Structure 1
């Protein structure tokens, strides 16, 4: 019974772990920000990718919920930048194999580790930049990852969830 209670407690505790990490400039007065715009794209990119469109729609929806107006870049209090930071990780798939023999307190064994494969993933990072100081005043990074194996609908849902989680923590202290 103790094992079951401890297991339930640990699962509940793991469920409370945040899927995003935020940071902010403690000197920024977030009450002064009422308008925003997306920062201009880089010189190399003149288009919006599929995930980029999903991210921008989600950011726009969340900032609208915060009663912030989307305006032209020259009139904005904040510029929104975002990027998907690619990371590689190793994943073990399957199980290892092993066998052994012996008797009593002595024996021999042989085993192989499970197969390992490299996975490319991306974590979403969103930053808000004060247009007067050109400094980042708020930053959120996801602990959940996008990968190429996800279906279109699950990618959209994941992006919506991640961005909603990010902006739950904006403005800081609210």
Structure 2
């Protein structure tokens, strides 16, 4: 019974964990910002990738919900940039095996660790910078990852959810 209770509490606490982390300049008065634009150096290759398009659409939707006006980058209060930062991690792809023997309080055991593989995933990071002084005033990073095995619809939903959660914490101090 105790194990079931601990497992249930772990699930509840995991459900309460935020999927994004934000940081901001505490000296900034966010109420002074009424307009935004995408940063002009956002596109280095000249092409808009599929994920870039998904992120742009999600950001535009969130700023529209906040009643902020989109202006050319030379006139906007805030400049928005984002990137999908690659991160490598190890993933268990099987189970470890072992055996042991013993008697009483003494025994011997031998085991093999589970097989693992290295995978690369992408973490979305969005930054808002004050156009006048070109300093980042707000930053959000996702704790959920994009990977190459996700379908286009799954990627779109994930980006929409993450960007929505990011902007639920903007402006800071209102949530």
TM range (shorter): over 0.9
User: Using the alignment, how far apart are the partners of 1:67 and 1:42 within structure 2?
Assistant: 23
Q: Provide the aligned C-alpha RMSD in A.
A: 1.6
Structure 1 residue ranges (4+ consecutive) displaced by more than 2 angstroms after TM superposition: 1-10, 41-44, 99-110
How far has the Cα of 1:94 moved from its partner?
A: 1.3
How far has the Cα of 1:11 moved from its partner?
A: 1.6
- Unaligned 5+ residue runs, structure 1? none
How far has the Cα of 1:165 moved from its partner?
A: 0.5
- Unaligned 5+ residue runs, structure 2? none
The equivalences for 1:7-156 within 5 A come to 7-41=7-41, 44-103=44-103, 106-156=106-156
Count, aligned residues? 174
CA pair 60-117 structure 1, distance change in 2 beyond 3 A = same
Q: TM-score, normalised by structure 1?
A: 0.93
Please name the residue that 1:159 is paired with.
Answer: 159
How far has the Cα of 1:106 moved from its partner?
A: 4.9
User: Using the alignment, how far apart are the partners of 1:102 and 1:14 within structure 2?
Assistant: 38
User: Using the alignment, how far apart are the partners of 2:131 and 2:11 within structure 1?
Assistant: 43
User: Using the alignment, how far apart are the partners of 2:118 and 2:150 within structure 1?
Assistant: 16
